[in-house]
Structure 1
Amino acid sequence: MVMRFPVYAAAGAALSLLAMAAQAAPSSSGKRFTCWTDNQGHRACGDAVPPQYAQKQREVYDDQGRVREVKPREKTADEVAAEEKAAHDAAAKAVREQKQRDYDHFLLSTYDSAADIERARDERVAMIEGRRALTEKTVADNQKAIEQQQSRIDVVKRGGHTPGKALTDKLADLQASLVDNQKALQNFVSEKQQVTDKYNADLARYRELHGSAAGAE
C-alpha cells in the first residue's frame, strides 16, 4: 500500500492519516511504514519503497506515527570521491604533523643551543670541502696518468708497432676512472648546498620552537 501527500501538506496531518491507516489495518501491531518524496515532490508512504526511490532519503515510522529510523539518501559518485579524498588528505596531514612533532623533539633533544646547530653545519661543510679537495687531487693525478699512458702508446705507434691490449686496456680504465671522479667532484657542489640548506632550516625551526616556548612562558 502506498499513500501520497502533497509536499506542502501539514506533516502532522499526513502522519495522522498514516497512523490511522495502520491502526485500521488488520494485524497491524508493530507495523512500520516508510515515507519518501517522489519525483513530483509529493510525500509518499507505504510498506515498501519503490526501486526508483530506493536511493532517496527515507523515514521509517511506527504505527503511532513516530520516526523510528532515518535512512539517508545514497551519496553520488562525486560525493563519495570527495569524501575519500578528504579522508586521504586528513590522514596525510596527520602523518605530516606527527613527523614534524617527532623531528621537533629530535631537534630539542639533540641541540642545546642554536650555536650547536651552526657548529654542526660548519663541521659537515668542512668535511665535504675536505673530500672535494682530495677528489680534485685524484682528478689531477688521473689526468696525469692518462697523459703518461697515452705517451707510452704513442711511442709504440711511432715505432711502427700496434699497442698491446694491456696498454690500451690500462688507458681505458684510467679514462673511466677520470669520468667517475669528475662526476663525484660535480656532486660535491649539490651535496654542500643540500647540507647547508638542511642545517639552516633546522636552525630556523629550532629558533622558532624556542621562541614559541618563550612566548608561552
Structure 2
Amino acid sequence: MAASTFKWLLVPLAAAALTATAATQDAPKAKKLYCWNDPKSGRTCSDALPPEQVNNARDEFSVNSGARVGAVNAAMTAEERADAAAAQAQARADQAAIETRKRTEQAMLLSYASEGDLKRVFTERTTLVDNSVDTARYNVTSMRDALVTKLQMAGDAELAGRPVAAKLADEIRQRHSELVRQQSLLLSFQQQRTQLDGEVEDTLQRYRAMKTAAQPGG
C-alpha cells in the first residue's frame, strides 16, 4: 500500500477516536441514590448527600437501575484510630515473635558466639512491646483526663441545679467505655512484656545447656 494511501486511511480513524473520546468526556455522570441510617428518622435515602452525612456510613445505588454500586464506611473516631494502631502494633509484635523463634531454634549455636549475641535477637521484639505499652499507657492517661473533665462538667451542672445534658451524659458513657478498653489493652501488653522476659530467660537456659553439651566431655 502506498504511503499516501496509508495516511489517508489514518485520518478518518483518528477522527473517529477523537469523537469517541469527546463523547465519553461529555457523557453525563451516572446519578446515585444515597441511603443511610438516621438515628431519628431511620433508613433515609436521597439523590443528594447532606453535608452532615459525609463522614457517616452509607450505601450507594444507581438511580437508573436501582443496583447497589458502592458503600462508604463511617469515618473512624480518634478512639477507633487508637485501637487500629494498637492492633497493628500487636500484629507486628506477633510476627516478630515468630521470626525470633525460628532464628533461635534453627541455628542457635552456629549463629551466636555468646549470650550477648543471642540477647540482641530479642531487641526488636522488646522494643515493639515496650512501644505498645507506652502507647497504651498514654491513651489510658489521656482518656482518663478527658473523662474526668466531662464528669466535672456534669458535677458543676448538678451543683448549679441544672440537669446534665443528654449529649454530655452520652459522651461520659462513651469515654468510660473507651477507657476500659484501653486499660484492657495496656494490661495485655504488660503481660506480653512479662512473658517475653520469661521467653528470653528460657532461651538463654537452652543455649547454655546446648553450649555445655557441645563442649568436649560435655
Could you state the TM-score of these two structures normalised by the residue count of structure 2?
0.43
Query: Could you state the TM-score of these two structures normalised by the residue count of structure 1?
Result: 0.44
Look at both structures and tell me which one has the larger radius of gyration over its CA atoms.
1
